[in-house]
Amino acid sequence: MIIIKRSGKTVEFDVQKIKRAIEKAFISVSKPYKEDILEQMAVDVQKR
């Protein structure tokens, strides 16, 4: 899947970026999380 950035640049979709963003969100609010939950959430986003 190709993503068009705000700058107009096109890049390949990277599910790992989504996973890192979700992980950072959990960390920012000091909530515990499990790696498999992060993976499932990232996959769910990718399906959309």
Q: Which stretches of 1-48 are DSSP H helices?
A: 15-28, 35-47
Q: What is the pLDDT of residue 48?
A: 82
| Phi, psi at 7, each rounded to 5° | -75, -10
d(CA 16, CA 11): 14
Q: Model confidence over 5-45: pLDDT tens digits? A: 999 999 999 999 999 999 999 999 999 989 999 999 999 99
The partner residues of 11 in beta bridges, in order of sequence, read 3
Q: What is the pLDDT of residue 41?
A: 95
Q: What is the pLDDT of residue 28?
A: 97
